């Protein structure tokens, strides 16, 4: 449906591998006819630790927001364990500005299933749970159909492809809670509890789902695994940015002519993504601000975008992060006060309420921002806002607190003028 | 209370999870899809099926925004007003629906047909503005499309 629009001529050099341009690929026959489940066969001929090694050397980093090296995460899992080990595939996809995993469910679900199987083989798991946000009912049914077909064809279940490897995959439907995308909260949700994040340590690799060793990976991360096994780590590690390689699903939304999800190598210039891939800003307006990776990532000024690339190092140097690679573009007429108020409202509503700094801090920030929005702010409010954000950051069990603080901090740092202007307008506004 | 088909599904699912508590969300979903909402009676039924105290179930149900203890109207319209949708005019869409139905978010029309909610990002930012009714997404909305949609659900 909103698969990437036809790519501009010049950019066709990248041949898509996560969302290939093959209509019907969601059907198992088409998937098989296009080399599907060959990576699984190849992986089953390797030793599990060789698969982990391959993923390590590929330098794949997680696509769920933190860019954590996947091979390293997998190597934290104990080789021998008295308890069963579990894989959780994170398809909660609720970070505002993010709509990429949904494309995988719809257009290439077997790639995700194949990746899940390879991951289970590598880490010695007999069960995997794919957790999907409850609102994605339609996409859950699409993935379930693919899963049923994969089971019927002997790729999932007992003695897969005639080997001793057995694993079951279960789709677990969420029920509306952004926090359940946080990995420990996700595990509590699967266990049938309120989705509260857990204190770490212990880390999931030691003590995760039902107290057993567990790995949690994002849907897109897992979908990269068959690509690595099929093409080899060498090929993969040379795609895009050296320290953060591979294909990346980049979502572009907001003020662009051609919004959508685009598959491209990491490290593409941000301005090129906005102007060439996403068709530029309507009315040829200037860009006031860009959120590069979902609403929790630090906001960038329109005039600082030159030279920034979509990879972990470049965005870090620019004072932001890749996050979920959901780019939100705001044109020169955008009311940024309204934007930051809405973002903060989101984190306030979604805070689970366990930690005081997050529970109280987010609502306090929201109330102050409402004052700005309604032209009732005073000069001291700016520093008060910064102070609250600084006191949330790093002081909570999970990173939702940070996610709420970063947009506010970056907005004050980079757009202080907007706040000051609003304070001035608050004092000099003629009330009708 | 569950249909035979759903009861069989529950038995199948028991093999997939090491604890019966893990079946709570799947069972609550089944009940809600059958009955439209989760009554006290049905939550207690889920409790007896899975051996979970009612207090725990109530705690879970109140945590998740998609689990409802009452169904207030036939159609619930969820309009996303998060950033990407806001930048592409969700405010106008919401206002238009409010005017047309004569209700504000959180309210129900007097004939109990419609209820309206503002929701968080539903993962359709590239096809904003959007709204959802149940599992169905309506994307790239215009005021005309909204009118047609509401008429088609008369
Ligand atoms: C509040 C919050 C929400 C999150 N939501 C998601 C999500 O929807 N999907 C996701 O993959 N990761 C989400 N994460 C990150 C996960 O905790 C975890 O790091 C990720 O799933 C690991 O996968 P990866 O290593 O493959 O990136 C969230 C984190 C936080 C703090
Ligand atoms: S912001 Fe509305 S769907 Fe994402």
- Measured in angstroms, how far is the CA atom of residue A127 from the centroid of ligand 1? 20
Q: Which tokens belong to B89?
A: 């005019």
pLDDT digits (tens, 9 = 90+) for B74-100: 999 999 999 999 999 999 999 999 999
Average pLDDT, chain A: 96
For residue A2, what pLDDT is reported? 47
Q: Which residue has the higher pLDDT, B20 or A6?
A: B20
Question: Does domain B4-63 correspond to CATH entry 1.10.10?
Answer: yes
pLDDT for the residue B150: 97
B126 vs A259, A295, A346: nearest CB:
A259
Final residue in a domain of this structure, among A213, A237, A261: A237
Chain B contact present for A3, CB below 8 A: no
Q: What mean pLDDT do residues A28-50 have?
A: 98
Interchain contact, B18 vs A210, CB within 8 Å? yes
Contacts 24+ apart (CB under 8 A), A51-58: A51/A118, A51/A121, A51/A122, A51/A229, A52/A122, A52/A123, A54/A228, A54/A229, A54/A232, A54/A233, A55/A122, A55/A225, A55/A228, A55/A233, A56/A233, A57/A233, A57/A234, A57/A237, A58/A228, A58/A233, A58/A236, A58/A237, A58/A245, A58/A246
Q: Which residues form the domain of A230?
A: 9-237
* CA-based R_g, chain A, Å: 22
A350 and A230 part of one domain: no
Give the number of whichever ligand sits closest to the CA of residue A217.
1
Q: Is the ipTM of this complex over 0.95?
A: yes
Provide the residue ranges of all domains of chain B, joining segments of one domain with +. Answer: 4-63, 75-152
Residues A86 and A200 in one domain: yes
A vs B, Cβ pairs < 8 A, gives 144
Query: Do the chains contact at A253 and B126, CB–CB below 8 Å?
Result: yes
Average pLDDT over residues A320-331: 98
Would A323 be classed as within a structural domain?
no
Per residue in A107-141, pLDDT tens?
999 999 999 999 999 999 999 999 999 999 999 99
Of A220, A237, A254, the residue that ends a domain is A237
% of chain A with per-residue pLDDT over 70: 97
Residue A91 Cα, ligand 1 centroid: separation in angstroms?
Answer: 9
CATH of the domain at A393: 1.20.1440.230
Which atom of ligand 2 lies at the shortest distance from residue B129's CA?
A: 2
Q: What residues contact residue A399 under an 8 Å CB cut-off, 6+ apart?
A: A66, A182
If asked whether residues A53 and A171 sit together in one domain, one would say: yes
Considering its fold, how many domains does chain A have in total? 2
Check residue B132 and report its DSSP letter.
E
Across the interface, do B125 and A96 touch by the CB < 8 Å criterion?
A: yes
- E strand or H helix at A240, and its extent? strand A240-241
Of A170, A205, A237, which residue sits at a domain end?
Answer: A237
Phi, psi values for residue A212, rounded to 5°: -105, 160
> Which is the CATH superfamily of the domain at B75-152?
Glutaredoxin (3.40.30.10)
Q: What is the mean pLDDT of residues A307-316?
A: 98
Q: Which residue's C-alpha comes closest to atom 25 of ligand 1? A: A62
Helix (H, G, I), strand (E, B) or coil at A209: helix
Which range among A362-371, A404-413, A423-432 shows the weakest confidence by mean pLDDT?
A: A423-432
pLDDT at A303 over 90: yes
Measured between alpha carbons, how far is B93 from B96 in angstroms, rounded to an integer? 5
Does A15 reside within a domain?
A: yes
Query: What was the pLDDT predicted at A13?
Result: 77
Residues of A in contact with B123 (CB under 8 A): 93-94, 98-99, 101-102, 133, 135-136
Report the pocket of ligand 2 as residue ranges, CB < 6 Å. Answer: A 96; B 80, 82-85, 121-125, 128, 130
Q: Is residue A140 part of a domain?
A: yes
Q: Please compute the mean of the pLDDT values over residues A9-36 and round it to a whole number.
A: 89
Q: Is residue A118 part of a domain?
A: yes
Average pLDDT over residues A355-373: 98
Which of B91, B124, B126, B127 is the best mutation target for the ligand 2 pocket, counting ligand atoms within 8 Å of the beta carbon and taking the most?
B124
Which of A:235-264 have CB within 8 Å of B?
251-255, 259-261
Please answer yes or no on whether A135 and B132 come within 8 Å at the CB atom. Answer: yes
A182 lines ligand 1 (CB under 6 A): yes
Q: Evaluate whether residue A205 is within a structural domain.
A: yes
A92 CB within 6 A, ligand 1: yes
CATH code, domain with A71: 3.40.50.11540
For residue A1, name the pLDDT band (cuts at 50, 70, 90): very low
In a domain? residue A220: yes
Q: Are residues A219 and A343 in the same domain?
A: no
Return the residue matching tokens 């930690």.
A355
CA atoms of A396 and A200, how far apart (whole Å) = 11
Ramachandran angles phi, psi of A354, nearest 5°: -70, -45
- pTM for this model (two decimals): 0.97
């Amino acid at each position: 449906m909103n698969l990437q629009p036809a790519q501009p001529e010049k950019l066709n050099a990248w041949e898509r591998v996560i969302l290939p341009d093959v209509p019907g690929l969601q059907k198992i026959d088409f998937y098989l006819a296009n080399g599907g489940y060959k990576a699984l066969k190849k992986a089953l001929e390797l030793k599990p630790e060789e698969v982990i090694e391959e993923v390590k050397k590929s330098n794949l980093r997680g696509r769920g927001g933190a860019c954590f090296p996947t091979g390293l995460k997998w190597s934290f899992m104990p080789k021998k364990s008295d308890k069963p080990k579990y894989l959780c595939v994170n398809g909660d996809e609720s970070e505002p500005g993010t709509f990429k995993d949904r494309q995988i469910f719809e257009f290439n679900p077997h790639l995700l299933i194949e990746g899940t199987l390879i991951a289970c083989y590598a880490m010695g798991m007999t069960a995997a749970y794919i957790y999907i946000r409850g609102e994605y009912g339609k996409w859950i049914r699409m993935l379930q159909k693919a899963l049923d077909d994969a089971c019927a064809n002997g790729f999932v279940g007992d003695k897969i492809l005639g080997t001793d490897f057995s694993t079951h995959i279960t789709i677990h439907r969420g029920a509306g809670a952004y926090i359940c995308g946080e990995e420990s909260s996700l595990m509590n949700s699967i266990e049938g509890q309120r989705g509260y994040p857990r204190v770490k340590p212990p880390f999931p690799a030691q003590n995760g789902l039902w107290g057993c060793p567990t790995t949690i990976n994002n849907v897109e991360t897992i979908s990269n695994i068959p690509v690595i096994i099929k093409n080899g780590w060498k090929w993969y590690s040379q795609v895009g940015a050296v320290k953060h390689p591979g294909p990346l699903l980049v979502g572009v939304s907001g003020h662009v002519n051609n919004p959508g999800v685009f598959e491209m190598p990491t490290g593409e210039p941000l301005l090129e993504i906005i102007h060439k891939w996403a068709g530029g800003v309507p009315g040829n307006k200037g860009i006031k601000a860009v959120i590069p990776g979902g609403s929790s990532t630090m906001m960038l000024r329109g005039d600082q975008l030159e030279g920034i690339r979509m990879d972990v190092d470049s965005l870090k140097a620019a004072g932001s992060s890749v996050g979920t690679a959901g780019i939100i573009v705001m044109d020169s007429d955008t009311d940024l006060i309204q934007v930051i108020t809405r973002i903060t409202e989101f984190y306030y509503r979604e805070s689970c309420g366990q930690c005081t700094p997050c529970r109280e801090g987010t609502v306090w920030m929201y109330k102050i921002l409402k004052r700005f929005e309604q032209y009732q702010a005073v000069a001291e409010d700016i520093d008060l806002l910064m102070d609250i954000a600084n006191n949330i950051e790093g002081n909570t069990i999970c990173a939702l607190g940070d996610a709420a603080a970063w947009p506010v901090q970056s907005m004050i740092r980079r757009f202080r003028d907007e706040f000051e202007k609003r304070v001035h307008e608050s004092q000099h506004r003629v009330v009708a | 209370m569950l249909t035979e088909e759903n009861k069989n599904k529950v038995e199948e699912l028991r093999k997939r999870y090491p604890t019966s508590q893990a079946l709570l969300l799947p069972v609550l979903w089944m009940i809600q899809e059958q009955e439209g909402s989760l009554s006290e009676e049905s939550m207690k039924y889920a409790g007896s099926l899975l051996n979970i105290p009612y207090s725990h179930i109530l705690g879970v149900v109140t945590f998740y925004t998609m689990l409802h203890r009452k169904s207030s109207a036939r159609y619930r319209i969820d309009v996303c007003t998060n950033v990407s949708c806001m930048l592409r005019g969700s405010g106008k869409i919401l206002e238009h629906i409010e005017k047309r139905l004569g209700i504000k978010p959180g309210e129900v029309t007097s004939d109990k047909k419609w209820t309206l909610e503002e929701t968080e990002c539903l993962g359709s930012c590239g096809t904003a503005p959007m709204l959802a009714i149940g599992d169905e997404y309506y994307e790239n909305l215009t005021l005309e499309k909204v009118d047609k949609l509401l008429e088609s659900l008369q």
